[in-house]
């Protein structure tokens, strides 16, 4: 959950880190299936996790208009089942701006 983000200039970005663990005895390649130009953007679209190690994936939430946002981000692993993370966030505008809407709470 990225919480509520106020729409101000410059645009605010909220980040969350996902830790991915590899318990196997071999390196695992993974890729992120999401739109990197969307409001939820990963810091990398693919990487290799060394054996018996972890990797970090940072997702950034940068909304451009007021509203509630939801996305299912898929993590695709080589020779493994796909996993997913559901992410959500809200954006609102200050009462002093032209867009005075505040989305319904999630």
Distance spanning both ends of the chain, measured CA to CA = 10
User: Average pLDDT in the 15-24 region?
Assistant: 94
State the Cα–Cα distance between residues 21 and 50, nearest whole angstrom.
9
Per-residue buried b or exposed e for 42-59, using 16+ beta carbons within 10 Å of the residue's own CB: beeeebebeeeeebebeb
Q: How confident is the model at residue 97 (pLDDT cuts 50, 70, 90)?
A: low
- What pTM does this model have? 0.80
**Residue 18 CA neighbour count, 13 Å, CB half:** 20
CB neighbour class for 32 (10 Å; exposed up to 12, middle 13-18, buried from 19): buried
Rounded alpha-carbon distances, angstroms, from residue 30 to 18, 73, 74: 13, 13, 10
* Residue 38 vs residue 96, higher pLDDT: 38
pLDDT for the residue 36: 65
State the Cα–Cα distance between residues 12 and 45, nearest whole angstrom.
22
Average pLDDT taken over every residue of the chain: 87
pLDDT for the residue 82: 92
User: Average pLDDT in the 26-42 region?
Assistant: 88
Determine which of 26-40, 45-59, 69-83, 85-99 has the lowest per-residue pLDDT on average: 85-99
């Amino acid at each position: 959950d990225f919480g509520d983000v106020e729409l101000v200039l410059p645009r605010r970005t909220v980040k969350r880190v996902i830790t991915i663990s590899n318990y196997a005895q071999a390196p695992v390649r993974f890729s992120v299936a999401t739109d990197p130009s969307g409001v939820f953007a990963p810091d990398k679209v693919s990487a290799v996790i060394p054996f018996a190690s972890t990797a970090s994936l940072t997702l950034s939430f940068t909304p451009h208009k007021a509203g509630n946002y939801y996305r299912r981000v898929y993590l695709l692993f080589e020779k493994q089942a796909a996993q997913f993370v559901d992410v959500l966030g809200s954006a609102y505008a200050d009462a002093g701006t032209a867009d005075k809407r505040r989305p319904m709470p999630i």
